[in-house]
Amino acid sequence: MTNSTVSMGQTVDYQTVSSGDELTIDIGGSAYATSINSGGQMTILIGGSASDTLISSGGQLNVSRGTASNTTISSEGLLTVYWGGNVTDTLVSSGGQLVMSWFGTAANTSIASGGVLTVSSGGSAVNTSITPGGEFIISTGGTAVSTSITSGIDWAISSGAEADNTQILSGGQFTVSANASAVKTMVSSGGQLIISAGGKASTTTIVSGGEVGVSTVGSAMSTTISSGGLLTVYSGGSAFSTTITSGAEFAIYSGAIVDSVYIASGADWTVSSGVNISNISIFSGGNLNVNVDANVKGIDLYYGGQLNTEAGVPLVNLGIHSGVQFDVSPALSVNGAYIFSGGELNISPNGNISNVYIHSGGQVIASSGVSISRMTLSAGANFDINSGVNVINAMVYSGGQLTLNSGATVVDPYLNSGAKLIANSDNIISHAYIDSGVQLVAASGTILSNTSMATNFTTSSGVTFVNTSVYTSTTFTVTSGTIISTVNIFASGNMIVDSGAIVHNVSAGGPLIISSGGSAVDTYVYLNGSVIVSSGGDITNMSLGGLLNVSSGGRINGEVSVYTGGHATIYSDAGGTINLLGYNAGGLTISGLEDGGTVTTVIKNFDGMNSDRSDKITLAGVHTSNVNNVIYEDANGNANGDYVTLALNNGNKIVMNIPGAENEGYTLASDANGNLVYEVCFLAGSMIKTPTGDVAVEDIRIGDEVLIFNWQQNKEEVKIIRWVGSKTISVNPMLHDDEAGYPVRVLKDAIAEGVPYKDLLITAEHCLFFDGNFVPARMLVNGSSIYYDYSITNYTYYHIETEEHSVIWADGMLTETYLNTGNQTQFKQHGDFAVLTRPSKPKTWEEDAGAPLMVERNYVEPLYRKLVQRAVEMEVPMAQGPIKVSYNPHFHLMTENGMVIEPVSNFKGQYTFILPKEDVGHVYLMSKVSRLSDVIGPFENNRHELGILVADIQILSVNSAKHIKFSNIMDHLTQPDLSGWHTLEHISCRWTKGKALLNIPKNDDKEQRLIVHVSSDRLYLVDEKPKELIAV
């Protein structure tokens, strides 16, 4: 029957296919009881079928898209199934082989001893039975479904093979390794499943007497252990989502990875020492025992479940669900407790607990002596802090309520909009941030320190506020009986002091309103800040850089220091003292003098440098035409140079107490509204040595002669002045003293006897001559005999130039003439005629200086020390106090709306901040800045201004599912032009300038924490005055 084909409607039966024969069963054809022996071959194509076929002695049957049933494969017989072929009820006897590939399927196959079933890529075997000595091989991509492994069978799969619905019977063994997977395996009594070396098993059921072992790199997922069953996870193995039922055993060795264990009713499980486990759920009737030194992270305790721990066991992320009451005793340590609706957590005295999350309906009861570190209240959650309980770092979301009963303490609470904080008597609240829309109730005896207030609030009697920040669009009203000190009002923030209330140490960047009967003591007013004192209100001591308006009947007690940019408007009955520390060109207006009167306020430091830079006093409603005489006499008519009396045409007088007024002189002028302005005359300058004697510098003209010192030949010489220039300076107090423009005052005899012969005033960069070298004056400032004169904030200074840079005498001190390094056009040429020629190129210190410029510390410091010692011997008092330094950079964050965020922790330079709930596009890294010339001494020429050195920056995010993730912020290490940062010099860190922009990624999470690693260890100045004000 060589090469026969059976097709549509044809049937052959009892045929023998021998050597050289080929029988093809095509579509619609069938074969019954065919014998295929040595060399014979039968092929079943699509639509063909065969039944009761015997394959033996080298015979071969190929099934491609056809079907074969009841086939027996004996010695050296081969059945190959591929391309959708399907065989059922096949017996593979000794020496026979069944090969499945390319979507071939075998169902109900029995593999007898010596028989081999091979399932390769795309092939599958369903409901296979293996007897001892039979071999079942699954290659990569092959699948076995519903395989029965009986006693004596040791079956193994590897290399990407998959076995589904396998049943391991008594005495059977199944090994899964090398990326193979077993799904829905049933391990019966006496059966054994081994998962190793990359093997995976999922949805496994272990019944009584069954055993599963997971070794290195093996993993078991979704395993259910029934009573009497055993799951063992060895070092390097892993188990996920394991359910333990009553009587089940779950053994874990050190080094194993176990996550998500479910303890069902009746189960009693013990976690031994040295074991690491994450996420255990204890259901009703289940029992968990945790031995000491076990590491368990994440336990969810449900109603009826039982958790037992040995003393000293740390519990991490404990979930308390409805109906559960859990006690935290002193022997326990809990880090992370989640109390859900209906759950209750009781904390005994000295219980150690941190990171508590209370959900709506959850309850926490803490006894006196308990300290809770980090607490979160979600919407609808409530927590009562009882007497003797301390809470550190509490986050309260909208709808949450935090209540402090008498004697409770909370540190660093953050209340989001819509939250509620109730403080009953005798509470302490520290470092609170109270967002807009928060409801705050504070009863008598409550103390709030370092509070950031972003919600409108009116205080109650008996409440104490210490160090409060009032943010933008917030009104903070202080009532009688409130004790309050140190308040910082940000721009557009408002503070109202009601009758009977007294506030201390207010820094006003926004409006401060003192009502009748209210008082403010020691107030700082910034450039954009303002203070209004109503009739009957009063202020005591103020530093004014903004606006002050004292109504008629309002009072000044003590002194108001008016700095450049500040302006005070008062009535004649205000009293106190106005100290004009800057040349304000109109820093004081006095009302109520239209018909004369005596000003009860003393006006100090009324002076100036020229007609454009002098103090001015405006008398509202008084005109220059009303004045017929100005006399230096007091209200009693006694001659006194400290009083100015303006005689009016109507016979009345205006009397002002201005100490030193007669020495300053005056000018009567008018402002734009016609009000009289009383201002200072200009007094002038330093004395320059000339062949005809000393001449004031402002009187020197081009072409005049001046004496110079030829230090190489130790003799005087005469030189001609070729240029004279002047420049008017207005001090910028926002800068460092050496850069702000303050003049340096060298006291008489500071250098030597008669040197200088009177106080010498020069600019900070002007050089003095010592032993053949020039030294900048700024490098010799010692705070006593040589110091910055803060009383002069506007002045005109002069330069004289000889043909060559020279050494001259000023007030008897050797100093320098002008060296044109390219900045001559910044000066106004002085004199009756001009020099029209200029050098072809700017001069330099290296090539054109009359003597070397020395700024090296090893030269300047000994000179500095020598002058300090001379000042001590002269018993010169300190004009400026000693500096104080600290390693604390006062590092904090500031949002774009001005909110200050202090760090919640700092461990070895790792600062952690809690970011606001709302999406923050960017923040500023705020810190002090430091220069070596400030913290070491002026003899150090390094004046680079550095803030902090920032290395890694990370965001820690916690979403609503309590998942934590870290992400890195790299802008500061990759963007060269980032605002507020110094030049990018290193790949791992970068210096700030004190206010550095940091972009924050969009926040969709429940909580974000910013972690900033600061690498610098640098000294900073402390006790600095606000930059908006001039230090005195």
CATH at 432: 2.160.20
**Rounded Cα distance, 463 and 587, in Å:** 37
Q: Is 782 in the same domain as 909?
A: no
Q: Is 736 in the same domain as 840?
A: yes
Q: Is 912 in the same domain as 995?
A: yes
Q: In the prediction, which pLDDT does 474 show?
A: 94
Q: In the prediction, which pLDDT does 839 show?
A: 42
Q: Is 870 in the same domain as 964?
A: no
pLDDT in tens, 401-448: 999 998 899 999 999 999 999 999 888 999 999 999 999 999 999 999
| Interacting residues of 726 by C-beta distance below 8 A, sequence separation 6+ | 698, 796, 797, 798, 799, 827, 828, 830
Q: Is 890 in the same domain as 1002?
A: yes
pLDDT above 60: residue 259: yes
Q: Is 895 in the same domain as 954?
A: yes
Tokens of 987: 């790949």
Q: What is the mean pLDDT of residues 499-525?
A: 95
Q: Using an 8 Å Cβ cutoff, are 415 and 435 in contact?
A: yes
Average pLDDT score over the chain: 88
Tokens of 758: 């009177």
Q: What is the DSSP letter of 723?
A: E
879 pLDDT band, cuts 50/70/90, is low
Domain of residue 438, residue span: 391-471
User: Last residue of a domain, which of 443, 471, 499?
Assistant: 471
DSSP 551-581: -TT-EEEEEEEEPTT-EEEEETT--SEEEE-
Residue 2, helix vs strand vs coil: coil
Percentage of the chain lying above the pLDDT 70 cut: 92
Q: Is residue 810 part of a domain?
A: yes
Q: What is the mean pLDDT of residues 805-818?
A: 91
The domain tally of the chain equals 4
Residue 699, helix vs strand vs coil: helix
Q: Using an 8 Å Cβ cutoff, are 504 and 521 in contact?
A: yes
Q: Is residue 631 part of a domain?
A: no
Residue 846, helix vs strand vs coil: helix
Tokens of 682: 């200009």
Q: What is the mean pLDDT of residues 181-194?
A: 96
pLDDT above 80: residue 147: yes
Q: Using an 8 Å Cβ cutoff, are 441 and 424 in contact?
A: no
pLDDT above 50: residue 955: yes
Q: Which of 87-101, 178-192, 241-255, 752-766 is predicted with the least confidence, judged by mean pLDDT?
A: 752-766
Q: How far apart are the first and last CA of the chain?
A: 122
Q: Is 892 in the same domain as 845?
A: no
Closest CA to 533 of 554, 509, 511, 547: 554
Q: Is residue 228 part of a domain?
A: no
pLDDT above 80: residue 891: yes
Higher pLDDT, 494 or 1006: 494
Pairing between β-strand 693-696 and β-strand 705-710 as defined by DSSP bridges: unpaired
Q: Is residue 385 part of a domain?
A: no
User: Last residue of a domain, which of 432, 454, 471?
Assistant: 471
DSSP 400-469: -EEEE-TT-EEEEEEE-TT-EEEE-SS-EEES-EE-TT-EEEE-TT-EEEEEEE-S-EE--TT-EEEEEE
Q: In the prediction, which pLDDT does 226 show?
A: 94
Q: What share of the chain is helix, strand, coil (3-state, %, to 5)?
A: 5, 45, 50
Q: Is residue 669 part of a domain?
A: no
Q: Is 699 in the same domain as 843?
A: yes
Q: How many CA atoms lie within 13 A of 827 on its CB side?
A: 22
Q: Using an 8 Å Cβ cutoff, are 888 and 1025 in contact?
A: no
Q: Which of 151-160, 359-368, 790-799, 834-843 is predicted with the least confidence, judged by mean pLDDT?
A: 834-843
Percentage of the chain lying above the pLDDT 90 cut: 65
836 pLDDT band, cuts 50/70/90, is very low
Closest CA to 402 of 376, 417, 386, 383: 383
Q: Is 838 in the same domain as 946?
A: no
**Rounded Cα distance, 734 and 673, in Å:** 32
586 pLDDT band, cuts 50/70/90, is low
User: Last residue of a domain, which of 145, 168, 195?
Assistant: 145
Q: Which of 603-612, 617-626, 962-971 is predicted with the least confidence, judged by mean pLDDT?
A: 603-612
Tokens of 67: 């079907």
1029 pLDDT band, cuts 50/70/90, is very low
842 pLDDT band, cuts 50/70/90, is low
pLDDT above 70: residue 656: yes
Q: Is 58 in the same domain as 96?
A: yes
Q: Is residue 205 part of a domain?
A: no
Q: Is residue 343 part of a domain?
A: no
Q: Is residue 675 part of a domain?
A: no
| Interacting residues of 837 by C-beta distance below 8 A, sequence separation 6+ | none
Q: What is the mean pLDDT of residues 712-738?
A: 82
pLDDT above 60: residue 152: yes
Looking at 462-554, which runs of residues are DSSP E strands?
464-470, 475-478, 483-489, 494-497, 502-508, 511-514, 519-525, 530-533, 538-544, 547-550
838 pLDDT band, cuts 50/70/90, is very low
1028 pLDDT band, cuts 50/70/90, is very low
Q: What is the mean pLDDT of residues 48-57?
A: 96
Q: Is 756 in the same domain as 843?
A: yes
pLDDT in tens, 757-805: 998 888 888 899 999 999 999 999 998 999 988 777 667 777 888 888 8
Q: How does 669-707 read in b/e, with b if 16+ C-beta sit within 10 Å? A: eeeeeebbbbbbebeebbbbbbeeebbebbebebebebb
- Region at 290 (left for phi over 0; alpha for psi -120 to 50; beta for the rest): beta
Q: What is the mean pLDDT of residues 926-954?
A: 90
**Rounded Cα distance, 701 and 707, in Å:** 14
Q: In the prediction, which pLDDT does 294 show?
A: 86
Tokens of 612: 């454009």
Q: Which of 63-67, 505-509, 832-836 is predicted with the least confidence, judged by mean pLDDT?
A: 832-836
**Rounded Cα distance, 118 and 97, in Å:** 8
Return the residue matching tokens 């506007």. 794
Q: Is 716 in the same domain as 817?
A: yes
Q: Which of 56-70, 109-123, 661-675 is predicted with the least confidence, judged by mean pLDDT?
A: 661-675
Q: In the prediction, which pLDDT does 961 show?
A: 60
728 pLDDT band, cuts 50/70/90, is low
